[in-house]
Amino acid sequence: MQVVMEFLEHNDFVHESRANASINELEDLFFAHPKSLEIWRALPHVVLMDATYNTNRYKLPLLEIVGVTPTNMTFCIAFVYMHKEKKPNYTWALDCLKSLMDGCMLPRVIIIDRELALMNAYNSVFPNAKGLLCRWHINNCIMKKCRSSWCIIYPLWKKLVESTTEETYNITLAELEQQLAGYPGALLYLNTVWLRPYKEMFVSIWTDKFLNFGNHTTNKVESQHAKTKRYLDTAQLDIAKSVKRINEVVNTQYIAIRTSIGNDLISTRHRFTLDKELRTHFRNLCHSVSIYALEIIFKEYERSKYVRPIVDNCGCHVRACYGLPCAHEQAIFLNNARSLPLESVDKFWKKLNLSPCTPLTDDCTPLTDDNITYEVLQKKIDEKLKSQSRFGNQNIISPSTTSVGEPSVQKNTRGRPSLKNTIFRKTKIDLNQNPQAEDPPNQDPPSQNPRRSSISTYTPDCVRSNSFDLNQEPDRHSSCFNHRQPIYY
Ligand SMILES: [Zn+2]
């Protein structure tokens, strides 16, 4: 591990690790590239988290934490090798992440798949963030669970998930119940596993009441997994080589993101300035708002012609979910021949630089003249940057030498760690899964407040219970329910 620690320090990574004291082996390693931190502190609004497997010879799951830029690009925030996917491990990882945000804005939206341990962890570490469940993972779970009825379920389920009114939701649900009359198990599964406990985390009626900036799935993390794995190349790497290759991933990504943000600052689209009305309409926004956001605003501009300034015609989806001027709002400005004001755009889309993002409460000053106020705001942010700079000239307090060893090499590195033949012995699925369920007491090391760039150790309980409550460890990814004796509907 000395090679790993030296590499991390030499390249200015922020890192934390924990080792098992009894066998002196590394168990959890959190590391974040300095360039990732620069982007993360500038763009902390959206966080997506998902673990990937088959990346190293120790069979440690690799949790990838990624963010999204206003130019709709994905960037790595941090990586965590975890020896267990339990709440204390996730809490420790998220505490490490949070400790990097001193003085900056915390995430507003967190998107995960239905990993209950991770859900419990983010709820305690980032209680103010809006949590969403990945629709893609949910569909995947249902498809695997309800194989014989999937073609009946899919079209109605899609409609149900995308319901924007309670009326549509209730009508579609009634239709689904009618269609699944011959599949009571499937219906029970949909209701008890997904709709009753979690519908507010993935059905549009509820999710679209909050800003999510258009993110409903963790697909961006999935595609980041693919990129990371391309760099890692093999599942047989040790941690030192893995970290070095991840370093390459982040360096490449950083250049691409800076370029995309820089492009949006200086370039524009011809259609935003096509005629006098458009030039007036977009005057305050071009070069101050990302082009990706301008494209969304432009679609609402086109819609505003028949929505008119009537809120009931609008739905205001773009305002609620994206924080951008919706069709009826734009119609008001068009009718008065006024430009859209910059303050009508959420700050996420206006962050076209990588200075640290100030908390939302710092931006409560009423804005009057858009351009001038934006400059004032930028000046304010720059001043904050000077006073908050933590990562530029930091002294990383961490040993350059360590006696902690690498984890034991595991022979089989293909796919998610098999849970067969271990502690999963139950044959029936408990459908009353409780998202608030805690991990069994005394089974894991206590969550520790992270210290920067340090190795901590603990002595784990050696005694493990043979019984394991399936309520507490959910299915994930394509392996949903695979580790149990399957019951198909
Ligand atoms: Zn509207």
Q: Is the pLDDT of residue 247 over 70?
A: yes
Distance 302 CA to ligand 1 centre (A): 13
Distance 330 CA to ligand 1 centre (A): 8
Residue 403's pLDDT band (cuts 50, 70, 90): low
Residue with tokens 């924990």: 18
Instruction: For the chain, state the CA radius of gyration.
Output: 24
pTM listed for this prediction? 0.70
Distance 132 CA to ligand 1 centre (A): 23
Looking at residue 272, its pLDDT comes to 81
Q: Is the pLDDT of residue 205 over 60?
A: yes
Contacts of 130 (CB under 8 A, 6+ apart): 108, 109, 110, 210, 211, 212
Looking at residue 269, its pLDDT comes to 78
Distance 203 CA to ligand 1 centre (A): 20
Distance 334 CA to ligand 1 centre (A): 14
Q: Return the minimum-mean-pLDDT range out of 102-116, 243-257, 423-437, 451-465.
A: 423-437
Distance 199 CA to ligand 1 centre (A): 24
Looking at residue 468, its pLDDT comes to 25
pLDDT digits (tens, 9 = 90+) for 472-489: 333 333 333 333 344 555
Q: Do residues 62 and 52 touch, judged by C-beta distance below 8 A?
A: yes
Looking at residue 231, its pLDDT comes to 60
Contacts of 103 (CB under 8 A, 6+ apart): 356, 384, 388, 390
Q: Is the pLDDT of residue 206 over 50?
A: yes
Q: Taking ligand 1, which is a single-atom ion, which protein residues have CB atoms under 5 Å away?
A: 314, 316, 326, 328
Instruction: Report how far residue 484's alpha carbon sits from residue 262's, in angstroms, rounded to the nearest whole number.
Output: 50
Looking at residue 488, its pLDDT comes to 55
Distance 304 CA to ligand 1 centre (A): 9
Distance 310 CA to ligand 1 centre (A): 8
Distance 127 CA to ligand 1 centre (A): 29
Distance 329 CA to ligand 1 centre (A): 6
Looking at per-residue pLDDT, the higher value among 413 and 409 belongs to 409
pLDDT digits (tens, 9 = 90+) for 60-90: 788 889 999 999 998 989 999 888 888 899 9
Q: What is the mean pLDDT of residues 197-202?
A: 91
Distance 315 CA to ligand 1 centre (A): 6
Q: What is the mean pLDDT of residues 44-54?
A: 86
Q: Is the pLDDT of residue 279 over 50?
A: yes
Q: Is the pLDDT of residue 143 over 80?
A: yes
